[in-house]
Structure 1
Amino acid sequence: MLSRGLTMGVFAVSLLAIVAFTLGDASLLWPYTCYGQWQRFGSHCFNFDTTPRSWTDAEQYCRSLDAHLASVHNWEEFKFLEKLTGGSTITWIGGNDGGRPEITQHRTWSWTDGSSYDYHEWAEGEPNNYNGVREPCIQMNFGDEHRWNDEVCEKQFASVCSRIY
């Protein structure tokens, strides 16, 4: 019985030491690391690639890295991606309107990673299917305010991939 009590005491002291150490360094609360060109934000790692690709090819490239084109869910993540991409390079992200050309006024947007489309940073007047041309894919860093624009998916731009760690 003494052995069990001693074991529980050692466990309790160890647990307290771990908690004290962890609280001293908030980065230890999320112990996963992004390697190489990948940059961490929250529970995701992001990779910015300047190689010009169509939106579809960019998504396929991301999938080859076990990732998807990036989804954006809040202002902080938007600002992180703006900084990661240099803020001036037009860049594909993972938003699209589901490939439904009959939708023009009330488009339904979604992310390639399947997460909920719960945030947006459209530039003023966007999305707009400019000049009546179908624009079902989202690019970021558009215009003076570096917001989002709907664009023709076949155009070639840089891209940013995201994966969970």
Structure 2
Amino acid sequence: MASEVTYAEVKFKNAAPPPAETKVTLLKGTGGCEEHKALPQSSAEWHCVLGRAEEKGQVWTCCPMGWKHFQSSCYYFSIDTMNWSDSETNCTGMSSHLVVINTGTEQDFILNWIKRTVTSFQNKNYYIGLTDQAQEGQWHWVDQTPYNETAAFWRQGEPSNSKMENCAVMHVKTNANRKNWNDIPCSTTVNRICETDATRF
């Protein structure tokens, strides 16, 4: 059963909030109905989607402005480039981590978003949160999610497991298909994808 979805841009009020909580105003639809809620993070603006949850009725799902919402996560696609370590540090600084891809549906969402939004690119790479720096050939996600070979999307012949290639990227080109992961040297400067849990209330 399809449910109506309402989008809202959310801006913080100027009033000083209580610790770890900030007042926001959510605009529902175009009728001007305002509902005051609180979001527990410090981003200046939010993008919220109004949906339904069986157990809760209407639920707002919010991501910081500039992040893309999918299922229960928010994703940030960088336009600048960094090495793997700096990429993870950058994500951590935004209360997130390099993306952890758990399903084919999530892989498809990320790939399709990049292909839709990047107008001109040739062989563009995005760091994901997968590395075998600790032990060659033993891949680990940054958030300690167990690595599942059946939910991995390596290009044919990858990972090459070269001692010099210990960090995973999503390798995107115009005709890229679902299997597009590649291992590269962690010192390479490429784009990155950060992921954090969406805020729901």
Global fold match (TM > 0.5): yes
Deviation, structure 1 residue 115:
1.8
Q: Relative to 1, partners in 2 of residues 1:25 and 1:58: Cα closer, same or farther, differing over 3 Å?
A: same
Larger strand percent: 2
Deviation, structure 1 residue 71:
0.6
For 1:83 and 1:128, the matched residues in 2 are separated by 25
- SS of the equivalent of 2:89 reads helix
For 1:45 and 1:69, the matched residues in 2 are separated by 12
- SS of the equivalent of 1:153 reads coil
- 1:121 equivalent in alignment to 2:145: no
TM-score, length-normalised on structure 1? 0.74
C-alpha deviations, 1:84-128, integer Å up to 9, x for none? 32375211010001422xx3xxx2111112222222100000001
TM-score, length-normalised on structure 2? 0.61
- SS of the equivalent of 1:73 reads coil
Q: Which residue number corresponds to residue 135 of structure 1?
A: 165
How many residue pairs end up in the alignment? 137
Instruction: List 4+ stretches of structure 1 deviating above 4 A.
Output: none
1:39 to 64, 68, 92: 68
- The gaps in structure 2 that reach 5 residues or longer are 6-50, 54-58
C-alpha deviations, 1:54-99, integer Å up to 9, x for none? 0110000000000000010111100111123237521101000142
Q: Relative to 1, partners in 2 of residues 1:80 and 1:154: Cα closer, same or farther, differing over 3 Å?
A: same
| Aligned-pair Cα RMSD in Å | 2.2
- The gaps in structure 1 that reach 5 residues or longer are 1-21
User: For the Cα contact (< 8 Å) 2:128–2:169, is it kept in 1?
Assistant: yes
Larger Rg: 1
Amino acid at match of 1:123: R
User: For the Cα contact (< 8 Å) 1:48–1:84, is it kept in 2?
Assistant: no
Deviation, structure 1 residue 31:
2.7
1:62 to 91, 96, 100: 91
Larger helix percent: 1
- SS of the equivalent of 1:53 reads coil
Q: Percent identity?
A: 25
